[in-house]
Structure 1
Amino acid sequence: MSAPERIPPRGVTTADPADAELLAHGGLTVRGRIRDASNAALYCTVAHDGREAACVYKPVAGERPLWDFPDGTLAQREVAAYAVSEATGWGLVPPTVLRDGPYGEGMCQLWIEASPEDGLLALVDEEEPGPGWKAIGFAEVGEDRTALLVHADDERLRRLAVLDAVLNNADRKGGHLLTTADGRLYGIDHGVTFHADDKLRTLLWGWAGEPLTEEAVEVLSGLAGALEPGGTLAAGLSALLTPAEVDATRARTTALLESGRHPEPGGEWPAIPWPPV
């Protein structure tokens, strides 16, 4: 699917179209299994026209049923999340395609080599976050002790918080945040997104209720246009999601623009995923 052309914000680089081409048409070779994943996730290499890259392949056949999401739809949701990310111009989701593989149709995503230390999350023995940090909430750390869980007051995370609000991400854990040696931030694992009901669960609540940045308002305005019926993004999402889910995505984007603020926890759904990291 094609996404609306946007000029990336300063310091942001969107995906190379050649990466999606490689993922979609390259020969997949399974190298091993990622054992800490909740669904079948296979570490692979993909090769095409002299290029080779590492990737993650998640076959639909390996998806565990969920009580609140239709069976066999997680791969499509991951691809839809990539499409929306690219439409924002922020490039926050690695290149992701839907394709056939050794175990049937599934999601194939470019492997991101993450830096060992990203400094995005921390536990502090304070009542309030220090400069450069945003509070998430208090966590039990053993022996009847609690500590304040915080995330960095980082513009990359703030963009991701806006994207997650559009996607209705029900599972933004700390382990789904990857930073690279060149300073890029990626979010991964978007299988439980785009539900028509409010299910936003995230660690990125630090800006809850605060005004959106001017950049975010501009990006959301462009996204709203692309999500209108007949828009390029709406057409692409319609092949991956139900009509109700596409409508809900459009409504969430409009609601963000109308409020002009980051969303706050709704109270009818746990606000933070478990486990949080």
Structure 2
Amino acid sequence: MSAPERIPPRSVTTAELLARGELTVRGRIREASNAVLQCSVSFEGREALCVYKPVAGERPLWDFPDGTLAGREVAAYAVSEATGWGLVPPTVLRDGPYGEGMCQLWIEPSADEDGDGLLALVAGEEPADGWKAIGFAEVGDGETALLVHADDPRLRRLAVLDAVINNADRKGGHLLPAPGGRLYAIDHGVTFNAENKLRTLLWGWAGEPLTDEAAEVLAVLRDALAPGAPLATRLAELLTGAETEATRARVDALLASGRHPEPGGAWPAIPWPPV
């Protein structure tokens, strides 16, 4: 009699791990304005670190409905995945030790590159080759310096994503270079407002033509956001109808102009503090 065939254990996906795994709180990230907890998550033999942001720990904001920031983080991940650029770490909405919240895979920064290498303060009025100007910043004693960001294709993709999701708070500290040359971006709780609230450090390409790649990705997003399409259906679960429609309109506007957006003037263009 032959031995029974051994079935190898199935591979647990990251989405399953985050959505179904057991969360164990390891500590709190004190620098954050809302409650942000570092946790370990384990499921069927797989374990990882993650960030858990419970809705109960969200501070009210005057311009966003209460208790919606976690859902906006998940919506940002959904749009990022639809672009194919993978700029936002895997993110789910789930129950946890302190109630429903956002759970996102922890990204360990690269040892070879850090976010400081993407931003700099320099003397003079023009950036060096390989850098894009953001604006002038006070550095003390009445002195100013030019704030610049790298002319990096990863950042340029992120600038397009931020324009689509209407990111009101893209700071330097939200950039996480990861091993293998990947760049991740985090903290997308204040996104998708129906009103134009784009605030970012990535204005270096403002008014410049979009890359061919960006135009192709935006065309894909336009189809994915059509009423009844999977992405539109998912966003409708996480956002208001007006916010989903505004997202669709922003994609259409970017395709129509063929250019990166410019500051509108009615809203501060750069978040504070910028890093």
TM-score bracket relative to the smaller structure? over 0.9
What stretches of structure 1 move > 3 A for 4+ residues in a row? Answer: none
Matched, 1:51 2:46: yes
Which residue of structure 1 lines up, in the alignment, with residue 35 of structure 2? 40
Secondary structure in structure 2 of the residue aligned to 1:135: strand
Deviations 1:18-60 (A, max 9, x none): 1111000000000000000010000000000100000000000
CA contact (8 A) 2:12 2:44 kept: no
Take 2:63 and 2:69, find their aligned partners in 1: how far apart are those partners? 12
Provide the alpha-carbon RMSD of the alignment. Answer: 1.1
Secondary structure in structure 2 of the residue aligned to 1:185: strand
Which residue of structure 2 lines up, in the alignment, with residue 106 of structure 1? 101
Take 1:61 and 1:22, find their aligned partners in 2: how far apart are those partners? 22
- State the AA in 2 paired with 1:46: V
Aligned match for 1:158, one of 132, 156, 162: 156
- State the AA in 1 paired with 2:99: G
TM-score by length of structure 1 reads: 0.93
- Structure 1 residues not aligned, in runs of 5+: 1-15
Take 1:238 and 1:33, find their aligned partners in 2: how far apart are those partners? 31
Take 2:110 and 2:202, find their aligned partners in 1: how far apart are those partners? 20
Matches within 5 A, 1:79-98: 79-98=74-93
Shift of 1:229: 0.4
Shift of 1:181: 2.5
Which residue of structure 2 lines up, in the alignment, with residue 238 of structure 1? 236
Secondary structure in structure 2 of the residue aligned to 1:80: helix
Shift of 1:187: 0.7
Secondary structure in structure 2 of the residue aligned to 1:104: coil
Shift of 1:115: 2.9
- State the AA in 2 paired with 1:125: A
CA contact (8 A) 2:118 2:150 kept: yes
Which residue of structure 1 lines up, in the alignment, with residue 72 of structure 2? 77
Aligned match for 2:120, one of 122, 130, 134: 122
Secondary structure in structure 2 of the residue aligned to 1:186: strand
Take 2:178 and 2:85, find their aligned partners in 1: how far apart are those partners? 15
Matches within 5 A, 1:183-194: 183-194=181-192
Take 1:66 and 1:20, find their aligned partners in 2: how far apart are those partners? 29
- State the AA in 1 paired with 2:87: L
Matches within 5 A, 1:202-213: 202-213=200-211
Which residue of structure 2 lines up, in the alignment, with residue 181 of structure 1? 179
- Structure 2 residues not aligned, in runs of 5+: 1-10
- State the AA in 2 paired with 1:230: G
CA contact (8 A) 2:29 2:37 kept: yes
Which residue of structure 2 lines up, in the alignment, with residue 229 of structure 1? 227
Which residue of structure 2 lines up, in the alignment, with residue 6 of structure 1? none
Which residue of structure 2 lines up, in the alignment, with residue 62 of structure 1? 57
CA contact (8 A) 2:12 2:46 kept: no
Kindly, what percent of the aligned residue pairs are identical? 79
Aligned match for 2:263, one of 262, 265, 269: 265
Take 1:17 and 1:156, find their aligned partners in 2: how far apart are those partners? 29
Take 1:187 and 1:176, find their aligned partners in 2: how far apart are those partners? 5
TM-score by length of structure 2 reads: 0.94
Aligned match for 1:22, one of 6, 17, 27: 17
Take 2:138 and 2:253, find their aligned partners in 1: how far apart are those partners? 34
Aligned match for 2:167, one of 169, 189, 194: 169
Take 2:119 and 2:15, find their aligned partners in 1: how far apart are those partners? 30
- The alignment covers a number of residue pairs equal to 262
**For structure 1, which segment, 178-187 or 148-157, has the greater mean C-alpha deviation from structure 2 after superposition?**
178-187
Take 2:58 and 2:109, find their aligned partners in 1: how far apart are those partners? 25
Take 2:150 and 2:194, find their aligned partners in 1: how far apart are those partners? 30
Take 2:42 and 2:239, find their aligned partners in 1: how far apart are those partners? 29
Take 1:139 and 1:273, find their aligned partners in 2: how far apart are those partners? 12
